[in-house]
Amino acid sequence: MFQTFEAQSSPDQGPPRLAALRLLMAQHELDCFLVPRADAHQGEYVAPRDARLEWLTGFSGSAGFCAVLQGIAGIFIDGRYRVQVRAQVADDYTPVHWPEVKLADWLIEQMPNGGIVAYDPWLHPASEIADLRDKLESFTLRPVANLVDGIWTDQPDPPNAPFTAHPMEHAGESHADKRRRLAADLGAKAAIITLPDSIAWLLNIRGTDIERNPVPQAFAVLSDDGTVNLFAGSGKANDISDHLGPDVTVRDVDGFLDAVAALDGPVRIDPKSCPDVVASTLREAGIDIIKDRDPCILPKARKNATEIAGAKAAHERDGVAMVRFLASLDAEAPSGKLTEIDVVKALEEFRRDTNALRDISFETISGAGPNGAIVHYRVSEDTNRPLKPGELLLVDSGGQYVDGTTDITRTMIVGDPTEEHRTCYTRVLQGMIAISRIRFPKGVGGQHLDALARAPLWLAGMDYDHGTGHGVGSYLSVHEGPQGISRRSEVALEPGMILSNEPGYYREGAFGIRIENLIVVTEAPAIEGGDDREMLHFETLTYVPFDRRLIDVNILSDAERDWIDRYHADTLHLLGERLDDRARDWLTKACAPL
């Protein structure tokens, strides 16, 4: 899954906004200003008020940043966005392939004599600024009030919705027990927590501050006695005072930095998510800093039995909605009357028919034909494309339910596929199966498994420019760290971690293919003849059939074919009785043995 949202800017608006920013930079005698896609909480997702990168450039991707100089404005994007960025930004912006090209190296090339690089210290993690200072020895890094805010005259207000309690029946552990458990291993007098999903998990609360992600925007200080100071906007925590209890003190967010400066040290921060301004406040107050991972990160990733049971229930419910959608799509798509937007609306309606949907978990990606090759495509009225016979349709979607978060991608053919469609689809499916079937020793990380999903494509000279899998929260963010399946994911996989399994292949200007299930890490049963090594494997959570018309059985091994047949049989068994006659008939045919 890849998060997207409506652009607040366009290529036409970008140049005058860029000119206004450069004028303000000149007035302050600044040579460069950094504009990240970030907010003060350093989570992946931002509220409309904090969508500064999108407002300035038009680029709506979920990762990236812009370095604005007087002569050049580099917009740094990774492989997921190299098609999208060209369509969304004006020629005044220069796309830079990141992380292949590092910001420090680019700045040295563009400004060989150094200069003043300005940044908003709330919007950059401490580790990023420290790294830039080390590498830019001839430069001056200067924290400033955000310059984009100075020219964004109609900037939205901050989110102000009240927080809600997440009940024990879905959390599986009280926030008092979580606080005590983490405090016992804190290694400091206090820990500063800024990530919204970490705070949500720790205190068993949820919010609506970020679209599609039920997280609260706040800051928290966890003390070594298990008490918490929660810093939130005025009135946002009023409705959960009984839930929080006497050991959680709610304070106004405006007093956060003053409270940080008054802490007894040492204080633990995660330099990868703690804003630079917080780290500098601690240093200026003479408070000892311990740099360590956010204490909630790993415990949150290791889902407990209640959360895993909730995930399974949510996926079964979501699977019914998906099957009803696919059955309807198969019946209506050949007419030629459906468009990408019709697909988005229909799928959301099927999910709402469950009467359990809290929200979709991200804006649905519905890409027909060449639009499917844009990895993070978001359909608009301007790009809306009809579903045409002989073209592939890629649909990446998910739901937020109080017991779990779902994320699924299926690629379907409208009409008859070409041999190229079938070959590419089958190779992607083989990669997904390889991850689904693998057993691995404890201590193995996602970086060790990523190549398994790519191997069938590599053998054909193909690849894809995104990770194979990301972590997923429990009625929380659909992207959750630190676990992942990618070349850069060094975190060892542990039981209870939920991840996506989503290899793909994209032919620019022609089609895109992605197939995605969610999986959970579990203890693997012993195999006769093996040694005593502790092994893990993945249990599949998502059960929705693949498009059999796109599977080339001649490419499959016997083991892969058997896996597909078992998966389809399990899908029919799990969902069949919950469907009406029409959808059940469709599912029976879709799940027939290969």
- Amino acid, res. 441: P
Structure-token pair, residue 266: 């040492």
pLDDT in tens, 572-591: 999 999 999 999 999 999 99
CA atoms of 571 and 549, how far apart (whole Å)? 18
Residues 277 and 342 in one domain: no
Strands 408-414 and 391-397: antiparallel
Indicate whether 414 and 376 sit together in one domain: yes
Tell me the mean pLDDT in the region 61-86.
88
Of the chain, the percentage scoring pLDDT greater than 90 comes to 90
Tell whether 7 is covered by a domain: no
Residue 74 in any domain: the answer is yes
Which residue in 424, 419, 374 sits closest to 394, CA to CA? 374
**Angle of helix 581-590 versus helix 305-332 axis, rounded to 10:** 90
Domain count, the chain: 3
Residues 283 and 311 in one domain: no
pLDDT of 9: 52
**What b/e string do you get for 162-192 counting C-beta neighbours within 10 Å, with b at 16 or more?**
ebebbeeebbbeebeebbeebbeebebbbbb
| Rounded Cα distance, 170 and 401, in Å | 10
Predicted pLDDT at 376: 83
Q: In the structure, what pLDDT confidence band is assigned to residue 63 with cuts at 50, 70 and 90?
A: confident
CA-based max dimension of the chain: 74
Q: What is the reported pLDDT for 84? A: 83
Confidence check: pLDDT of 97 > 50? yes
CA–CA separation, 143 and 120 (whole Å): 6
Rounded CA separation 56/67 (Å) = 12
On whether both 140 and 201 belong to a single domain, the answer is no
Ramachandran sector of residue 461 (left: φ over 0; alpha: ψ -120 to 50; beta: rest) = left
DSSP string, 17-29: HHHHHHHHHHHTT
Write down the pLDDT at residue 13: 81
**Residue after which a domain boundary falls, among 120, 151, 182:** 151
pLDDT digits over 215-236, tens only?
A: 999 999 999 999 999 999 999 9
Q: CB-side exposure of 438: number of CA atoms within 13 Å?
A: 24
Both 204 and 260 in one domain: the answer is yes
Q: What is the pLDDT of residues 304-334, one digit of tens each?
A: 999 999 999 999 999 999 999 999 999 999 9
Which pLDDT does position 11 carry in this prediction?
63
Q: What does the pLDDT look like over 361-370, one tens digit per residue?
A: 999 999 999 9
Q: In CATH, what number is assigned to the domain containing residue 400?
A: 3.90.230.10
The model's pLDDT over 348-361, given as tens digits with 9 standing for 90+, comes to 999 999 999 999 99
Q: Measure the CA–CA gap between 537 and 205, rounded to whole angstroms.
A: 31
Instruction: Indicate if 320 and 368 belong to the same structural domain.
Output: yes
pLDDT tens string 14-52: 799 999 999 999 999 999 999 999 999 998 889 999 999
pLDDT at position 91 is: 87
Residues 6+ apart with CB under 8 A from 589: none
Question: 19-23, 45-49, 155-159, 375-379: which range is least confident on average?
Answer: 375-379
C-beta separation of 78 from 487 below 8 A? no
Strands 248-252 and 228-232 come out as: parallel
Global pTM reads 0.94
Q: Are 323 and 575 in contact (CB under 8 A)?
A: yes
Name the helix (H) or strand (E) containing 348: helix 340-352
Radius of gyration of the chain (CA): 24
Position 243 pLDDT exceeds 70: yes
Q: Which residue matches tokens 């592939």?
A: 392
Q: Which of 296, 327, 347 is the last residue of a domain?
A: 296
Please identify, among 296, 330, 345, the residue that sits at the C-terminal boundary of a domain. 296
Residue 453 CB-half CA count within 13 A:
29
Task: Specify which residues 516 forms β-bridges with.
Answer: 409
Q: Is the dihedral of CA 171, 3, 540, 523 positive or negative?
A: negative
Q: Is residue 458 part of a domain?
A: yes
The answer as to whether 107 is a domain residue is yes
| Residues 171, 292 within the same domain | yes
Higher pLDDT, 530 or 562: 562
Phi-psi region of 74 (alpha: psi -120 to 50; beta: other; left: phi over 0): beta
d(CA 372, CA 411): 9
Residue 521 lies in a domain: yes
